[in-house]
Structure 1
């Protein structure tokens, strides 16, 4: 959450979602935003984000860490419970971590890394 607040405060850019506000519409929007941590097909995630008007996505790779204090509290485990139809697919976290390590760059299109820092990466939704 601090990253979103800092982006809004320092750039004035619109923020797609704020998951602490409770509203049915916002919960659905939050699921779409966090689907980049799911096992859904990458194109499906991209299309959902573009439909919301997203041009850039600030991604925090530490959220992909499978070593949560309780395994059922990781994003991967939560998505497996929420979306069992995709449970057998590769986690987008694995794909993204490979891309961040210089592997499988072509598999990440149409997302493109435009900025990288230690704690967050900015993806552009190109096309």
Structure 2
């Protein structure tokens, strides 16, 4: 979807538009993010995914689901194992907070992935921001 050499941003479905916005924001800081839209999850296009991560050495996987047992956690696992020796940083994973989904729209947005969270994860993977936790 978008070429870049500094970091790979990966998602599928609705969050892909967040990746594109995050890539635009990162570009303002001269960070070239490659955006991959996983249009097919089965079969997973591992060839494209791993080639990108091998080139950039860094990855952020975004999934609007909860973090445990999600497609995004599987994709992050596949990257971490297939590209272990090629990674310059741990794979970052941005998902919805591990809480019951609120019914208030403002609170719902607060627990879901956002451009701000994706940019922060990319900056952590690039060692430009201190890790949280």
| TM-score, reference length from structure 1 | 0.32
Q: Per residue, is there more helix in 1 or in 2? A: 1
| TM-score, reference length from structure 2 | 0.31
